Structure 1
């Protein structure tokens, strides 16, 4: 009788512990519907044209169309003031996942921007990973360069 109770209890405990995680995301996420989330979304909206320009420039060597970056596909890796407390010169490093078509990811990239009042300047663009496109999207590939990038990222 004890085995009948103990075995299901351990099984239930195991299943619950496998689904509960205390891991934090590798980037900061404000509380849902908070003013902080609103400010972060506005920040991404303002920065998006610069992100899109950098991504389009990079992928123009590999694809015949420009992939898109959506604000919800931007993660902040690092943000800092570079000129002290309440200074308005910032350095921000982002990770983005550009997509084509119905959200087919083409890669993973890190972009670092210097932000001052009135100017956003790309300081560094690092392509981290190239993803293989589905068969029905192969026609947008500039074959040799993309295949070379795909081989380098594996």
Structure 2
């Protein structure tokens, strides 16, 4: 009987720990804004194509920013990049754009490691059509956001 009670207490403790970790993971996922559109649209398709075009440029700067914070480069998923602002620099039907993006880099199973704002200039005047105008690092990785088996990612 004592063994049964001890086993039940142990199972309750493990269950409580697992529920706590699931709540933490849910809070982390909520901070990434996973409430993205549920259906496709032309605007969403164009935004996704733009992200594919800009992804190498985003990756380059994000790798540079997080090199001193992490032991390896974070991943950038296009659906964790939000367009904050876009405008034509030289007016109606001009092909010179400024685009500001909010980027949430992740590691492993989509663990957010920070938040950054990047502003790009897209035009024919630039050699590869894209130039990073500015960037602002908004949030560092927090050890408390990482499960114990992923904390070795942090420097």
User: What TM-score do you get using the length of structure 2 for normalisation?
Assistant: 0.68
* Mean Cα deviation higher: 72-81 or 33-42: 33-42
**4+ aligned runs moved over 4 Å, structure 1:** none
1:126 aligns to 2:136 (yes or no): yes
Q: Is the 8 A contact 1:76 1:92 kept in 2?
A: yes
Q: Which residue of 2 aligns with 1:139?
A: 152
Q: Which residue of 2 aligns with 1:67?
A: 74
Residue in structure 2 matching 1:41, options 39, 43, 48 = 48
Residue in structure 1 matching 2:95, options 74, 88, 93 = 88
After superposition, the C-alpha distances for 1:54-78 in whole angstroms (9 at most, x for unaligned) are: 1011101111100011000010111
Q: 1:124 to 1:84 in 2, by over 3 A?
A: same
Q: Which residue of 1 aligns with 2:11?
A: none
1:52 aligns to 2:65 (yes or no): no
Distance 1:60 1:70 in 2: 18
| Structure 1: gaps spanning 5 or more residues | 1-28, 143-154
Deviation at 1:39, TM superposition (A): 1.4
Q: Is the 8 A contact 1:108 1:127 kept in 2?
A: yes
| Structure 2: gaps spanning 5 or more residues | 1-35
Q: Which residue of 2 aligns with 1:77?
A: 84
Cα-Cα RMSD: 1.8
Q: Is the 8 A contact 1:30 1:36 kept in 2?
A: no
Q: Which residue of 1 aligns with 2:5?
A: none
1:100 aligns to 2:107 (yes or no): yes
Deviation at 1:34, TM superposition (A): 1.9
Distance 1:45 1:89 in 2: 19
Distance 2:38 2:97 in 1: 23
User: What TM-score do you get using the length of structure 1 for normalisation?
Assistant: 0.68
Deviation at 1:141, TM superposition (A): 1.9
